[in-house]
Structure 1
């Protein structure tokens, strides 16, 4: 049988984990949960925040690893850098958790229903 891929976005890891538990009853080939951001990296080390060794405002406010000066300026211009953005960590939708699922074609529609019922956005 052929396989189908599903990418679903959730607002919290707990929502995605709930869908993951229900999906395990199907013929799941592979499944993972990941948090993503529009900026790369794991962010800054808060212990060294006062040392002045941070590359941009975005590295402090958005957990971004800025690799050069120009990228730091661009990222700091984002409304989220000021802390005044209401979009949350995942942007305007607040969905920054990605559930990736690979299922057999016969289980695809059932998997889609499970994900939508768990609050996932396809």
Structure 2
């Protein structure tokens, strides 16, 4: 029996849960839903005040970067500059990831159901 993996991205947890429940109805129990992030979830350990100069970078001020290593990359992101909307890529806003391994015979039907829930596979 051949298996296929599913990595589907959604805008909301509710959309992903509809598909997760459908997958579980097929007898597959190993389904995972996670929120993914462009950057680390680490936050600054102390308050930073731009008036007193206690900020390491623009990314620290706008995105809450806790470390200096990713600061320049985070500052270059469109969400830090305020001058762009990010270009409207197809994946914008899809920060919910559903992961599952399904039988190959079930894959096409689930792919269609994921698209019906506005998911990206």
TM-score of the two chains, using structure 2 as the length reference? 0.72
Are 1:13 and 2:16 counterparts? no
**5 Å matches for 1:1-122?**
1-28=1-28, 30-39=30-39, 41-45=40-44, 48-50=46-48, 52=54, 55-62=56-63, 64=65, 66-68=67-69, 71-87=70-86, 93-122=92-121
Kept in 2: contact 1:42–1:63 (CA 8 A): no
TM-score if structure 1 supplies the norm length? 0.72
* SS of the residue 1:19 aligns to: helix
Q: Greater helix share, 1 or 2?
A: 1
Whole-Å separation in 2 of the counterparts to 1:65 and 1:113: 41
* Bigger Cα displacement from structure 2, 57-66 vs 13-22: 57-66
Give the C-alpha shift of residue 20 in structure 1.
Answer: 1.2
Partner-residue secondary structure (3-state), 2:80? helix
Shift in Å at residue 107 of structure 1?
Answer: 1.5
Query: Which runs of 5 or more structure 1 residues have no equivalent in the other structure?
Result: none
What root-mean-square deviation, in Å, do the aligned CA atoms of Structure 1 and Structure 2 show? 2.9
Contact 2:36/2:96 (8 A) holds in 1: yes
Q: Give the Cα separation in 2 of the matches to 1:64 and 1:30.
A: 34
Number of residue pairs matched by the alignment:
115
Query: What 5-or-longer segments of structure 2 have no aligned partner?
Result: none
